[in-house]
Structure formats: C-alpha cells, structure tokens
Amino acid sequence: VPEIKKSLLEEALNIIEENKRECRDIGKQGAELIKDGDTILTHCNAGGLATADYGTALALIFTAREQGKRINVYVDETRPLLQGARLTTWELMQAGIETTLICDNMAAQVMKEGRINLVIVGADRIAANGDTANKIGTYGLALLAKAHNIPFYVAAPTSTFDLNLDSGDKIPIEEREAEEITCGFGRRTAPEGIKVYNPAFDVTPARLITAIITEKGIARSPYKDRLKRQVLGWG
C-alpha cells in the first residue's frame, strides 16, 4: 500500500507540472491576439482554479499582462452556479487586473456600447470539426460576438480534442439538478413543482469561432484538417 500511495502521488504531481506547462504555453501562443489597451470578455472559469497555474482562457490574459499590455476584463457571472462571479473575478483581482463583473444577459449591451474588443473562453470538449462544448451560455456569447463583429477565441489544451467525434452534435450534454435554478445557493426563487431544463453545457459551432488556441499553436477555420496538422501535428 505505501508503494501504491507513493506511485499515485508521483503521478499526480507529474500531471500538475505537465498541466502548468501546457497552460503557460497556451498563454504564450495566444497572447499575441491581445493588443495593448484591449478589453476582453470571458465566461465561466478557465483559470488556475479550474486547471493549474495560469489556466487556459485566463492564460492569455495573464501572459499579455506580463508582456506589459494594459488590459481590462469583463466577466460574465455565468449562471446558474456563478463560476465567473465567484472564481474568475477573484483570480483576476488577485493578479491586479482591471475587472468588471456583469450579468450574463448584459453581454449584448456591453458589446453594443463598443466596450469589448475580443472574447476568450475555455472548452470542455472539442470535436474534429472545431465545434466546441463549454459552460452553458458560451454559444449565446458567440452569436453575440458574431453579430457585433467581435473576434471569438477558444483556448484549450490538445487533450480537450476528441477527433473521434465528427461534430459537436455527438457531444453528450449533461443535464443537472433543477435545484440549481429553483433554489440558487439555498434560497428558493421559483414555485414548487415548476418544470426545469438545466443543461450544464452548450455547443458553439465552429463557424462562430475565430480561432482555437492550444499549447501547440493557433488554428483557424477550416478546422478539420488544420487541427490535425497545425495543432496536433498529425498527418
């Protein structure tokens, strides 16, 4: 048993170090997309609290800051569990980055006012054609970015890709408990017995994604071949 514990600990530490390197490399690859003075909108949490060290989407922001760029970040609260409000804002504030929290349904108005230069989000799973599953609300944000002609970037490690899936239509979507919506943080906000639909993720079509950033590079549409060649180094 002691040897098993030691082996498990060593493997866990190796995984952490590998993830740290991946996150830093994602930041280095993608920071060039951020200009001095840019304001970025992000969704959910894709920082060190979700992965390790710099995270994925936030890695671009942290690296750009290291490069001396002056940046501001707007953070969607990310309902119903408020990962943006509870986690992302805290991470950015700890890093001394100018941060503004908004409700999810304010993103369109913020874009209309010309406050956003680019959107950066993470990903939970990416299909071979570039369709991307991420926290619920990401798809709507991509549609808004497209309508306002704002670049929409996805940052994720290559381990996120599932090239066995032809498209995002085959990505299973978890449906979570109704209480997350009807009793947010322990307080009932909806009538007893109300029907609830609570998908945890949505899928953003590749056509709405400006580029996908990994630790190995930046891929742009058409993704099906470029994800294999440019990013994954296959074929």
**Count of positions (residues) in the chain:** 235
- The catalytic position among 76, 104, 124, 131 is 124
Query: Among this protein's residues, is 124 annotated catalytic?
Result: yes
53 three-state secondary structure: coil
CA distances from 26 to 3, 63, 131, 161 (A): 35, 9, 19, 15
Half-sphere exposure of 188 (CA within 13 A, CB side): 5
User: CA-based angle 107:110:112, to the nearest 5?
Assistant: 110
Helix (H) or strand (E) holding 59: helix 57-66
CA dihedral angle for residue 19, residue 20, residue 22, residue 28, rounded to 10 degrees? 160
- Give the DSSP letter string of 125-152: EEETTS-EEEETTHHHHHHHHHHTT--E
- Provide the annotated active-site residues: 124
